[in-house]
Structure 1
Amino acid sequence: MFYTGSYTQQGAPAANPTGKGIGCFQLNSESGAIELLHNTLQRNPSYLVISKDRNHLYAVEEMYESLNPQVHAYKIEKKGQLTLLNTQKINGDYACHLAIIQDKLVVACYVSGSILSYPIMEDGRLAACEQEIKHEGVGLNQKRQEAPHAHMVYPFSNDHIYVVDLTLDMAKAYRIDSRTGQWKKTPALDIKIEAGSGARHMVMDNKEELAFVLSELTGEIFVADLRGGESEIVQKISFVPRAYLGAIGGAAIRMHPSGEYLYASNRGSDTIAIFKVDKGSRKLTVVAHQSTEGKTPRDFNMDPSGEWLIAANQDSSTIAVFEINEIDGTLNLNSLVEVETPVNICWL
């Protein structure tokens, strides 16, 4: 079972947002067929996260603060039905990502370049925001890096997060102060990539020794070795098809559950790049580029078994279901299903 986030109304960063909110789908793990079980109405739920015990789902509303966006806490019921527990105000513009670490929900706001931290109560409800962090600075690309743009929150090491910022070309590290419960900067762990590249999302290997940072603006993955106590960039590799000369719009990056393959999507070429992770050097080698059979693959995600990958084609209003080849990690299209303005895939 998986959920989809979608863009539902004008003002969202989509040409024609017509989504129905949060969709819940059942996947037949043998045939690859999917069935829509139900929709939960919500404005622009562009990113979703599920608690480790699978009892709660949290979703942001991606829009300007003037429209009173909220972060929603849901209880997951039988057959994936969602019951709203409560909401809290988002004091930021264009919340685009969120993550859970310990008893906190941390939200990244793209336009305002800020990070908001909400305590999660025992029953899954959210308390009011207890901390706001604002990034500062400008980048090399004057059009896209004119102000800080926090794009992702990535938890690691039980009490740390990386906040990936497109303008700062960096994954900035923070840890929870055990005494105050507040997030504190940990600059020694910051991951800095090339100026102007536009850090968007990242993923780490299973041992949290390597980080793979995706650049939205230049279409590259930067591999950072963290084993020395500080980050060291050891590889830069493109995820754009060699023959493609159009616009670049790096989007999502995911590690296969086995740790053997890495995948990255590009909204310019409408493709997913497939990489083999070398067991010795742990560097990346390109295996193939797969069309998502649609427009603007803003997100994709693999099921926990690693057998299926589902891509959300935002601007063609489809989700593509791929079977993952266990021998080489390549993708075989199983079906293409109409889903209005999908932008996030979240597995239960």
Structure 2
Amino acid sequence: MGQAMSKDTFFYVGTYASADQPGIYVGALNSDTGEMRIAHDIAGVDNPSYLALSPGKNSLYVASETDEGEVLAYRRDMSTGELHLMDRKSTKGASPCYVSVTADGNWVLASNYSSGSANVFPVGDQDTLGEMSAFIEHTGRGLNDDRQEGPHAHSIQPDPSGQYAVVCDLGLDQIIVYRLEEGRLVTHRETNQPPGSGPRHLVFHENGKWAYVINELNNTVTAFMYDARRGELSTVQHISTLPEGHTGEGTAADIRISPCGRFLYASNRGDDSIVLYHIDQESGELEAVDWTSTLGQTPRNFNVLPGGILLVANQDSNNIVAFQMDREDGRLTHTGFKLEVPRPVCIVPVD
């Protein structure tokens, strides 16, 4: 068993499940064969839809996406990946769908989609959660009557410096930068997106100069210059996530940058594809290069494992599909392996 485990790369999977069902899965990918398996599963939490590892990889934080939202803290068994519940705290908001951790590991951030609010929790001894240190509610609405009738904080992401926390509010078509001051959120800047675009998730480039936002409702990615000193986003480009001539309904979902910093990927629900962009290393602008079928339905989330394996969580076909990233051009090739998981919606690799 020990020899087999040494070849495994672990990853965690968040799903939509009731508390009496397995909801968090510990996946293992064999680095020699590419095969995937479920090593463990954990029940006891409703809709553990988004997960984030602590910087030291000792703990996993989980958003419970329910009407009375919670954030939970689990201690990891570093050898097997098993999880042990340590703590849980109310977000005092509805449908928390995103959780993140500052680079120093001192603060856990959460965003509540349905109630349009955001939270900060201090991290205590053994990575437990302290009492909430910040709670902020957005107000207003956007252009789309069906999806933007009020604020919908879809993600909250610390910037690389840890000085700022950036919230994408799908309902307001705004990206709001907060100063993170001793666990408090202080409004710093607001960046307006095109009306009806619905900003969802944001990623920072490893060089700290660029940031990218995926806009759910109009299926685009926005490229920004990022001034880390001033905490300021400046729009560089809007580019479609869909192939030319695409017809039919669909919404964009997730966004990731390759470890090498040269490629950006985004997922399309409806088209059920991953789009590959090449990142201009001088300007940060994007060029759409290729679209790859996710071999499943509704790719809500995806992530990159060590060794250049990209895993896609296809929510409505109940599977995780593995692709190999080409080191030269970033193109994706199916490895031949899939993993059956009920309603997977988040993948977090363990480096």
After TM superposition, the score normalised by the length of structure 2 is 0.91
- Tell me by how many angstroms 1:206 deviates: 1.0
- Partner in structure 2 of residue 164 of structure 1: 168
Paired residues of 2:37 and 2:339 also in contact (CA < 8 A) = no
4+ runs deviating over 3 angstroms: 227-230
- Tell me by how many angstroms 1:330 deviates: 0.8
2:342 counterpart SS class: coil
- Tell me by how many angstroms 1:37 deviates: 0.4
C-alpha distance in structure 2 between counterparts of 1:233 and 1:90, whole Å: 32
Paired residues of 2:93 and 2:117 also in contact (CA < 8 A) = yes
- Partner in structure 2 of residue 245 of structure 1: 247
- Tell me by how many angstroms 1:19 deviates: 6.6
| Residue identity matched to 1:338 | E
- Partner in structure 1 of residue 270 of structure 2: 268
Paired residues of 1:19 and 1:340 also in contact (CA < 8 A) = no
- Tell me by how many angstroms 1:191 deviates: 3.1
Q: Is the counterpart of residue 4 in structure 1 residue 4 in structure 2?
A: no
1:123 counterpart SS class: helix
Q: Is the counterpart of residue 174 in structure 1 residue 182 in structure 2?
A: no
| Residue identity matched to 2:16 | Y
What does 1:33-44 align with in structure 2 at a 5 Å threshold?
Answer: 33-41=35-43, 42-44=45-47
- Partner in structure 2 of residue 15 of structure 1: none
C-alpha distance in structure 2 between counterparts of 1:235 and 1:119, whole Å: 36
Q: Is the counterpart of residue 322 in structure 1 residue 315 in structure 2?
A: no
- Partner in structure 2 of residue 123 of structure 1: 126
- Tell me by how many angstroms 1:170 deviates: 1.8
Paired residues of 2:16 and 2:344 also in contact (CA < 8 A) = yes
Paired residues of 2:109 and 2:157 also in contact (CA < 8 A) = no
C-alpha distance in structure 1 between counterparts of 2:283 and 2:67, whole Å: 44
1:60 counterpart SS class: strand
- Partner in structure 1 of residue 72 of structure 2: 72
Paired residues of 1:20 and 1:340 also in contact (CA < 8 A) = no
Q: Is the counterpart of residue 192 in structure 1 residue 196 in structure 2?
A: no
- Tell me by how many angstroms 1:231 deviates: 2.6
C-alpha distance in structure 2 between counterparts of 1:143 and 1:224, whole Å: 28
Paired residues of 1:193 and 1:233 also in contact (CA < 8 A) = no
After TM superposition, the score normalised by the length of structure 1 is 0.92
Give the number of equivalent residue pairs: 333
Paired residues of 1:7 and 1:19 also in contact (CA < 8 A) = no
- Partner in structure 2 of residue 284 of structure 1: 286
- Partner in structure 1 of residue 7 of structure 2: none
Q: Which runs of 5+ in 2 are unaligned?
A: 1-9
Paired residues of 2:272 and 2:299 also in contact (CA < 8 A) = yes
C-alpha distance in structure 2 between counterparts of 1:151 and 1:304, whole Å: 27
- Partner in structure 1 of residue 29 of structure 2: 27
The structure whose residues are more often strand, as a share, is 2
- Tell me by how many angstroms 1:132 deviates: 0.8
C-alpha distance in structure 2 between counterparts of 1:182 and 1:281, whole Å: 34
C-alpha distance in structure 1 between counterparts of 2:172 and 2:309, whole Å: 34
C-alpha distance in structure 2 between counterparts of 1:158 and 1:122, whole Å: 20
1:231 counterpart SS class: strand
Q: Which runs of 5+ in 1 are unaligned?
A: 11-17
- Partner in structure 2 of residue 145 of structure 1: 148
